[in-house]
Amino acid sequence: MATELGPTPVKKPASGGTELHHAPKGVGEDNAIASQGKWASWLLAPAIIALAVVIVYPIISAIVMSFQADAGLDPATGLFAEGGPAGITNYVNWIAQQCASPGGGTVACPPGTLGSQFWSATATTFFFTIVTVALETVLGFWMAIIMARTFKGRSLVRAAVLVPWAIPTAVTAKLWLFIFAFEGIANKLFNTSILWTGSEWPAKWAVIIADVWKTTPFMALLILAGLQMIPAEVYEAAKVDGATAWQRFRMITLPLVKPALMVAILFRTLDALRMFDLPYILTGGSNNTTTLSILVISQIRQGFNVAAALSTITFIIIFLVAFIFVRFLGANVVEQQTGASKGKK
């Protein structure tokens, strides 16, 4: 799911003719706000309500559930009995990896329990996120630079780049699973006999390769759009001044593309932190490719409430990453816009 996180709130609209700050000041202003506000609330209400119902309700209910214990067996009857309040034990199960001990109390979750996988799943999720986003940024930049050049067949390349993006991820995963089969084309082509889904690093790389294939085009297009905003004269001037290609890239391209790039990286990062379909279908989460999302799904059938605790933790992790990013990103945007923003704030 590609979500647009335009830096709308921190920037001024391009055509600000009717923005309030430019509206005629004085007498009518308060009335204008009031009437526009009324309008706005009508226009926004459906969106807010829709999101509240589908997002806020489940989040709250997940938090409530996460403090309930799952049903357990009544040793006398062998039947399940209501779990009751759990305090923070569901969270302890994940974060401290403490499972209920058969004799009462808790023990460290032994390997083979989902609880024991929390930190490794977190590490895997971050590993995937960092590696895929880094590769996608570098490759995406390279592809964007090529697509920005003029040459015959450029539109063909731009169209081809959209193909991996248009294939549904579930299909992509099946396709790569087939490619990476032991008897598959990947091993044949490179004359290797790698067990792509059978050991840790090949499995991780299989996921990374598939993800990079699928989403680099998206990154490339975002960067391309940024590149096209740079006037050609700037490059010409730099060339005349004798700047090398690398210098031009570092001094002109990079800084000018940066705002667009940072937004692209932000929402790729958030997407990568939620990675689910690709490893789920490709490796089933084995060989240390279990991401946090896969862990939640595995837990659902073992107990709703413990799963709810993990989904809450996952949400908090993503929220924190987004927070750090937006601060970092926001600061940069402000820096870029100092001139324009002056006096507005």
Q: Which of residues 29-48 bind another protein (CB under 8 A)?
A: 32-33, 36-37, 39-41, 43-44, 46-48
Please identify, among the stretches 128-136, 178-186, 232-240, 246-254, the one whose residues bind another protein according to the rule CB under 8 A.
Answer: 178-186
Please identify, among the stretches 129-137, 236-244, 246-254, 308-316, the one whose residues bind another protein according to the rule CB under 8 A.
Answer: 308-316
Q: CB within 8 A of 23, min separation 6: which ones? A: 29, 32
- As measured in angstroms, the least distance from the Cβ of 258 to another protein is 11
- Which ranges in the chain belong to alpha helices (H)? 29-51, 57-66, 89-95, 118-148, 154-166, 169-179, 185-189, 200-227, 232-240, 245-248, 254-273, 277-282, 292-300, 304-336, 338-341
> 290: number of CA atoms within 13 Å, CB side?
20
Contact set for another protein, span 203-222 (CB under 8 A): 213, 217-218, 221-222
Please select the residue that binds another protein; options are 25, 30, 76, 153, rule is CB under 8 A. Answer: 153
Burial group, residue 76, by CB count within 10 angstroms (0-12, 13-18, 19+): exposed
> 117: number of CA atoms within 13 Å, CB side?
21
Quick note: the x/- pattern for another protein over 229-248, rule CB under 8 A, is x-------------------
What torsion, rounded to 10 degrees, do the Cα atoms 100, 101, 107, 113 define?
-60
Please select the residue that binds another protein; options are 15, 31, 191, 338, rule is CB under 8 A. Answer: 15
d(CA 50, CA 48): 5
d(CA 125, CA 94): 15
Residue 121 within binding range of another protein, rule CB under 8 A: no
Residue 15 C-alpha from the chain's centroid: 31
Instruction: Give CA separation, 309 vs 35, 68, 85, in Å.
Output: 44, 9, 13
Closest to another protein by CB, 51 or 134: 51
Q: CB within 8 A of 225, min separation 6: which ones? A: 260
Q: CB within 8 A of 233, min separation 6: which ones? A: none
- As measured in angstroms, the least distance from the Cβ of 249 to another protein is 15
Quick note: the x/- pattern for another protein over 78-117, rule CB under 8 A, is xxxxxx---------------xxxx----x-xxxxxx-x-
Contact set for another protein, span 265-294 (CB under 8 A): 270, 273-274, 276-277, 281, 284, 286-287, 292-293
Residue 256 within binding range of another protein, rule CB under 8 A: no
Please select the residue that binds another protein; options are 95, 96, 179, 238, rule is CB under 8 A. Answer: 179
Please select the residue that binds another protein; options are 17, 26, 242, 343, rule is CB under 8 A. Answer: 17
Indicate if the alpha-carbon torsion angle 187, 191, 193, 196 is positive or negative. Answer: negative
Please identify, among the stretches 130-138, 190-198, 234-242, 247-255, the one whose residues bind another protein according to the rule CB under 8 A.
Answer: 190-198
Residue 56 within binding range of another protein, rule CB under 8 A: yes
- As measured in angstroms, the least distance from the Cβ of 339 to another protein is 15
Please select the residue that binds another protein; options are 123, 134, 138, 174, rule is CB under 8 A. Answer: 174
Please select the residue that binds another protein; options are 96, 131, 135, 164, rule is CB under 8 A. Answer: 164
- As measured in angstroms, the least distance from the Cβ of 152 to another protein is 8
